[in-house]
């Protein structure tokens, strides 16, 4: 069976991990600090990697659920994924990342025979837990086709074409949400000025 490693177990990552584990794909995790969640996964038979390189060497696919500023170091750093990835591996970045960075990383990994998919996810920790995230994927179609069954474990995947498109759509989605919140705030202020209880 195909195996997945996950780097990052924050609010979104822990829900993603839970659903990948339920579906039988999660084999390894890496987090800089060992905490109760890591210990719990270890008791369930998940390998706790010593570094991103160690994690990459144990699995077919690597999911990232980490901040934008950490991605390049986790992928290309001293003990980064690049040193442990097998040819034809797939790295899946589910963070809120800069699409230009995603395209850069995809090109660098492609030169090493590894695929990179930028995957914008939406729904918050609650839907991450339920495995019902919106999942917008940019990158190589062949890699997406290989991974779509696994992505179904975390939500409803859609392939949106070339590298960067998954994170572009996530960026636009975030912008739309912010505009809605601003509109709600404006309407609440207007309600107060009209002597209404907002």
For the annotated catalytic residues, the residue numbers are: 170
Q: In whole angstroms, what separates CA 26 from the centre of its chain?
A: 14
Number of residues in the chain: 198
- CA-based R_g, the chain, Å: 18
CB 128 within 8 A of CB 11: yes
What are the helix (H) ranges across 111-164? 124-130, 141-151
Query: Which stretches of 56-154 are assigned E, i.e. beta strand?
Result: 61-64, 90-93, 115-122, 133-138
Which of helix, strand or coil describes residue 155? strand
- Spatial CA neighbour of 15 closest among 86, 83, 92, 94: 94
């Amino acid at each position: 069976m195909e195996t997945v490693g996950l780097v990052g177990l924050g609010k979104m990552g822990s829900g993603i991990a839970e659903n990948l584990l339920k579906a039988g794909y999660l084999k390894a995790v890496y987090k800089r600090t060992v905490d109760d969640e890591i210990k719990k996964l270890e008791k369930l038979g998940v390998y706790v990697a010593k570094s991103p390189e160690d994690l990459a060497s144990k699995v077919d696919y690597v999911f990232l659920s980490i901040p934008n500023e950490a991605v390049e170091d986790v992928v290309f750093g001293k003990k980064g994924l690049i040193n442990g990835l097998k040819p034809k591996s797939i790295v899946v970045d589910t963070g809120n990342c800069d699409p230009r960075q995603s395209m850069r990383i995809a090109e660098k990994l492609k030169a090493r025979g590894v695929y990179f998919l930028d995957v914008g996810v939406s729904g918050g920790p609650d839907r991450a837990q339920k495995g019902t995230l919106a999942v917008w994927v940019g990158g190589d179609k062949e890699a997406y086709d290989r991974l779509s069954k696994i992505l179904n474990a975390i939500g409803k995947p859609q392939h949106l074409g070339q590298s960067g498109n998954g994170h572009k759509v996530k960026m636009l989605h975030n912008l739309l949400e912010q505009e809605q919140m601003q509109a709600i705030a404006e309407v609440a202020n207007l309600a107060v000025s009209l002597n209404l209880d907002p």
